[in-house]
Chain A
Amino acid sequence: MQQRSRLYLIASIIALTLQVFGQSTGDILIKNGTVITIEDGIKEQTDILIRNGKISQIGEGLSASNITEIDAEGMYVMPGIVDAHSHIGIDAVNEATNPVTAEVWVGDAINPFDVGLYRALAGGVTISHAMHGSANAIGGQCETIKHRWGDLDPENWRMKDAPRTIKFALGENPMRVHGEGKNVAPRTRMGIEQEFRRSFAAAKEYKAKKAKAGTTGQMPEYSLRLETLADILDGKIIIHCHSYRADEILMLMNVLEDYGVDKICFQHVNEGFKVAPELAEFGAYASVFSDWWAYKFEVYYSTAYNATILTRNNVITSINSDSRELIRHLYHEAAKTQRYGDLTDNEALKLITINPAIQLGIDDRVGSIKVGKDGDIVIFKGHPLSIYGTPQYTIVDGVVRFDINEDPDDIRVDVDPTVEIPAFYEQSVYDHEAEGCMQGVSTHSHQH
């Protein structure tokens, strides 16, 4: 009992400390780093001043009084890494009860206690796109979160003013969950097309009824699902669509064209390389894995050269994790495009900074080092695209959220005083099973 109360005390002290530490913006001066700006070249021996969470000055010999300084001499300073596809920091992923669930929102399930968020910070990731899963043709709305580790209020994790996004899904996952699993459409890629057409048609009608309510005096029955779909038609929500095969990618672009929708980022999009010219012409974005393939039939004809082919065809491309493991080393994943293809250093780094920021509609705020942008920075010892590159500090809005020199083994903020040693997970199954896009759907195979 005594042991237990002591643990309670420790837990509450940690929680208190973190609450104070949890302030959302800060001031910091980063001195003498090699600054990889992404949009304005590389600046040697350069300082960055962050005031109130924003980059206020970039230059040589900057100084400021009463400010935390980081000596980045001999180190690389780059924008915080942005992951356009993740499921960490949320307690619910799939509302797998209907092929269309536009009414649900993962923003209702933010979990600031997920230790995966800290581990992402240790890999330089400052922003992730917490997504609904891929069980449904039209899934739920997603949330763009800032990794403010230590802040215990879920509200403070939202990236305020980030555009709304929604998850769509094509191919095997919705076919298996609904067609195979429940014997309801869609069971085929043909059926999936009709889910979108049916939904958009209903939303159009709903909009028309609302527009006419002034003269008819009759509002349609309120439906959050149709409200959301109508917002997609009005261009207020960016679609992020789980997809693999070339044919289904073309199908969705055709549907969207018919309904005048143009904001779309294809996710995974393993066969994007086959239809890169069409993606570029549509203005669609692509967010891909560096090298994942063969975990299911629809990704058997993949190539790790996907990101390179898409980039060379002028498709704005990012590399994402969709995994609480990969999110810890996205810089390494981006570097693989230099083995599989010939992207330059800056092109490779764009895949994890400005490009995912564009795809999430937040490139005016983050994704490059520029005066006026958010103070989201990661500092590497060794080049970030080298296997010997190691994140040293990760800064979000001017607050240091990861410091390799102040990194206790046990970083949890939800220490359960009744458990002295947390559960051990057998390796190699920990990550691959039921961890990605199909979380919350009963399957024990490797699904993304």
Chain B
Amino acid sequence: MNYKLHIIIALLLSSIALVGQQVQKSTLGSVVLKNAEIYTITNGVITGDIHIDNNDIKAIGRDLQVQDATEIDCTGKRIYPGFVDSGCKIGLAEISSISLTKDFNEIGTFTPHMRALTAVNPSSVHIPITRVNGVTSALTYPEGSLFAGKAALIHLQGYTPDQMSGGFEAGVLKWPASGRRGRWDRRSDEDIEKDKKKALTKLNGFWKNVKVYSELDGDKGYNPQMEALESVANGDEPLLIEVNKKEDILAALAWVNEEGVKAIFTGVSEGWRVADSLAKYDIPAIVGPILQNPSRASDSYDAPYKNAGLLQQAGVLVAIRTTESENVRNLPFNAGFAANYGMGVEEALKAITINPAKIFGVDDKVGSIEEGKSANLFVCDGDPFEMKTRISHVFINGWNIPIESRQTLLYDEYLNRDPGLELKD
């Protein structure tokens, strides 16, 4: 072998090595997932194939023959629709102790015109870490006092917020709360009551203006706060109302009935105490995290585990959330705890798939595996609530997502560190 050939071989080898190190990208195309157990959610469990054509589920059936499609053998595997976290801060917060990396809490009591979608960071390191656990979509929401802004449903794939948008945005109201904010909250009961009343007065004053504004005709000038809530006042758009304590839930319920507001309650940690009232007025509930402490020292240790199931059994449309940013990946385990403590697997699955899709009005696109819906789904080797189960493929809007994140890359690099203990010469 001559000298030149050596160089050529060396160059070839190094270019292969470089290719190997390249960041994997998502791909789009025509893919057939062969021979899987398909947990459709809305149509039982089917054994068969799924044809994904670009963004959508083109066909579901046995022995699908599609020319030029990439085939993925899924024998012995299961397919589920992508899981939806119905309340979290993914993309809006990167490092929680550093306030400049947090974009969910604008200054002001009335900031309904703030839009979470504007501030979603498509490059957040949290996103790949989340989606490899089968969570493909999330309602990411702002937080503050009273009207904090608009939450946005996003899919966890895309280079811009608009590419990620799931087609649903809704205002967030933090209902004036009469609970304590934490163990450090040392306010007297009287002060808590006073603060709550003050907040209620503010809310009602502001809401009166919104209603007047919504009834005005013609050019209303620049009034972004009013404009942001106009459709809520008209009953065209729902309002997400964060409310947890029993008395507060009942007060909020009276308010939405009085004002004719189409409400979705969020948090709802004492929902189990008033489940019948929520069911009676058809208010959907987004509960969670399931893995949280009981709200009162006198409550049973498993009250938070059971809340979602008790609401569902009372007839409430229930979805589950994590409220996390970096650990939205724990959504399936939150649902798993709800399943184990009374809700059952089938209903717990619905609470992170079709139920949020219905609540957000996007069930024509997401939440189940049906022909014509967006291809948001994942392939795994067992029960997705089990920690031991492995996820091998994730598709978001048809994009085949690489099963890697910074955390898996660190694993690959450090499992057998080289050099180990040797020192540099």
Listed in ascending order, the chain A residues whose CB lies under 8 Å from chain B are: 115-116, 118-119, 122-123, 172, 273-274, 276-278, 281, 291-297, 300-305, 308-309, 312, 324-325, 328-329, 332, 335-336, 338-341, 382, 385-388, 390, 407-412, 421-431, 433-435, 444-447
The answer to whether A324 touches B293 (Cβ under 8 A) is yes
15 additional contacts, CB 8 Å, given A118-B301, A435-B183?
A: A273-B414, A277-B421, A281-B421, A292-B327, A293-B326, A305-B411, A309-B411, A325-B291, A410-B298, A423-B180, A424-B245, A426-B295, A431-B293, A445-B96, A447-B97
Bound-state CA distance A149–B304 (Å) is 22
Report if B417 contacts A (CB, 8 A).
yes
The answer to whether A446 touches B289 (Cβ under 8 A) is no
Listed in ascending order, the chain B residues whose CB lies under 8 Å from chain A are: 94-98, 125-126, 133, 177-184, 244-246, 267, 269-270, 289, 291-304, 323, 325-327, 329-330, 333, 336-337, 339-341, 383, 385-390, 406-408, 410-411, 414-415, 417, 420-421
Of all chain B residues, which has the CB nearest A294?
B326
The answer to whether B97 touches A425 (Cβ under 8 A) is no
The answer to whether B420 touches A277 (Cβ under 8 A) is yes
Given contacts A273-B410, A296-B97, A422-B297, is CB(A429)–CB(B182) below 8 Å?
Answer: yes
The answer to whether A409 touches B300 (Cβ under 8 A) is yes
Of all chain B residues, which has the CB nearest A423?
B180
B68 to chain A, nearest CB (A): 35
Contacts of A115 in B (CB 8 A): 297
The answer to whether B95 touches A294 (Cβ under 8 A) is yes
Question: Could you show 17 A-B contacts with beta carbons less than 8 Å apart?
Answer: A274-B417, A277-B417, A291-B330, A294-B125, A295-B326, A303-B414, A309-B415, A312-B415, A338-B388, A341-B411, A382-B340, A424-B244, A426-B177, A426-B295, A427-B269, A428-B267, A435-B183
Contacts of A332 in B (CB 8 A): 333, 337, 387
Bound-state CA distance A322–B124 (Å) is 26
Bound-state CA distance A18–B36 (Å) is 55
Of all chain A residues, which has the CB nearest B383?
A387
Tell me the dominant secondary structure on chain B's binding face.
loop
**Shortest Cβ-Cβ A-B pairs, 4 listed:** A387-B336, A305-B411, A294-B326, A296-B97
Contacts of A312 in B (CB 8 A): 415
Contacts of B183 in A (CB 8 A): 425, 430, 434-435
Bound-state CA distance A338–B329 (Å) is 15
Of all chain A residues, which has the CB nearest B329?
A291
The answer to whether B298 touches A422 (Cβ under 8 A) is yes
The answer to whether A412 touches B385 (Cβ under 8 A) is no
Q: Which of A119, A294, A338 contacts B126 (CB 8 A)?
A: A294
Bound-state CA distance A294–B121 (Å) is 15
The answer to whether A421 touches B296 (Cβ under 8 A) is yes
Q: Which of A274, A340, A431, A445 contacts B292 (CB 8 A)?
A: A431
Of all chain B residues, which has the CB nearest A434?
B184
Indicate the member of A297, A424, A447 with the most B CB atoms within 10 Å. Answer: A424
Bound-state CA distance A390–B179 (Å) is 30
Contacts of A328 in B (CB 8 A): 293, 301
Of all chain A residues, which has the CB nearest B300?
A409
The answer to whether B295 touches A425 (Cβ under 8 A) is yes
